[in-house]
Amino acid sequence: MGTDFFQEVNLDRLFDDVAVYNQRAMSAEQLPVIANQALRMAMTHRGGCPSEYSR
């Protein structure tokens, strides 16, 4: 953000209305924790969850 292009969109806000869990990973180390939280939120709130992760 902040590049002043007309296509610039705040993706965090864009997905807030349609996502059960919306986080941005700032480093590779955060990915396992964020993915775990996202899957738990999806299963808890009956959001979408890929079938291979719901077992």
| Alpha carbon distance 45, 20 (integer Å) | 7
Residue percentage of the chain with pLDDT more than 70: 73
Tokens 């939120």 sit at which residue? Answer: 41
Residue 34 is predicted with a pLDDT of 92
Amino acid at the residue 12 = D
Q: Locate 50 and state its tokens.
A: 């890929």
Digit-coded pLDDT (tens) for 15-31: 878 788 888 889 999 99
The structure's pTM equals 0.59
| Alpha carbon distance 45, 49 (integer Å) | 10
Question: Half-sphere exposure of 16 toward its Cβ, with a 13 Å CA cutoff?
Answer: 6
